[in-house]
Amino acid sequence: MRYFMILSYKGTNYHGWQIQPNAPSVQAELERVLSTILRTPTPVTGAGRTDTGVHARNYAAHFDCVAELGDTEKFRYHLNAMLPGDIAIHRIRRVRDDAHARFDASEREYTYYMCSEKEPFSRETSWQYSGKLNIAAMNEAAAHLLDFDDFTTFAKLNSANKTNICRVTHAGWRQEGSRTVFTIRANRFLRNMVRAITGTLVEVGRGKMTPEKFRDILAARDLSLAGSSAPAQGLFLTAVRYPEEIFIDDAPIGRPH
């Protein structure tokens, strides 16, 4: 029987989601605890990779077990009791046996946080950037992302992507007090794509690049033209959404907390 977990994690202490040799990962922690509770090796498949230091607020992963869990809330309680404090399970849902956390995802959402003031409590969860930014120009440039589907310009080299085609459905900046926030949604993302886009859009905000130049860079499909990637600590995966028919229970999933 297959179950989806909705979880969040602070990525500061992990080398990303995926299991790494001789390095801590979120996937490894989940598999360790699940295998202990279920008393059998239990692989976990996630919705996608997140890089070292990147966080997640609504991540999805699936695992299989031979028998029905029964009280999923009680099972969730035991999972959380054994997991480190920087990983939390929010919900467990029964799904069809062929449901897949990665391949069935219809949309993913990332949010990037920048902070214009020195804040000791957000150093590990935002890019503390004191320079003045032109939000209107950044939004004008970000709107061009919806006009393209080939994101080779923002694809990390040697990532073994089968395709660099993605469909971006939303990309926009907003100001929230001292925080500057970028949200982007797409059917899929390439490795390091959001950080590369964010860093290049910041160049637009600084006046180092025009929105029209940003569009030209997108069209060129040349990684060397992109700006520097934004630091990892400001990036959060904030939602993964799925077609409701894959779930056996009737509670909605994939909405940000």
Q: What CA–CA distance (Å, rounded) separates 164 from 186?
A: 13
How far, in Å, CA of 113 to CA of 181, rounded? 5
Q: What is the DSSP letter of 205?
A: H
150 catalytic? Reply is: no
**Amino acid identity of 9?**
Y
Length of the chain: 257
Each as own residue / partner, the long-range contacts of residues 135-140 (CB below 8 Å, 24 or more positions apart, any chain) are 135/173, 135/174, 135/175, 135/180, 135/205, 137/204, 137/205, 137/207, 137/210, 137/211, 138/173, 138/182, 138/201, 138/202, 138/204, 138/205, 139/172, 139/173, 140/211
- Confirm if 62 and 3 have CB atoms less than 8 A apart: yes
Active centre residues (catalytic): 51
